[in-house]
Structure 1
Amino acid sequence: MNLDRAVLLLAGTMILLSALLASLVSPWWLLLTTFVGLNLVQSSITGFCPAALVFRRLGVSSGCAFR
């Protein structure tokens, strides 16, 4: 798995988990979905992604989007 796919997997998992928790526990969990969405927008504009930095330090091989 490369860095691009790892970041997309993390974002998708966080959004699905947030939606599940919002439906079962509290609608306040939708704030997590908002945070993930804002982070995706910010990283598409600036090219800076905190999750990519963490995955890179964990040794995940680089993909074409996060160099």
Structure 2
Amino acid sequence: MTSPEPRAPRERLIGLFLLAVAAVLLVSSVTWFGSDRGAIGIAQVVVGLVVAAVGGLLVRRAQSS
């Protein structure tokens, strides 16, 4: 059987990846507001915040292991 230790670095990497994706989503959402498509911009901000929350949770969980 495998030990649970290798799981923490994987969770941390996935969490950091999700935080990077969230940053791109949040920064690029400005373009939707600039092109008069505010509804898409708001949806992208919401998705970015959800992805950031999941990524932060994974990073925090990996650090506590």
Q: TM-score if structure 2 supplies the norm length?
A: 0.48
Query: Which protein has the larger Cα radius of gyration, Structure 1 or Structure 2?
Result: 2
TM-score (norm 1): 0.47
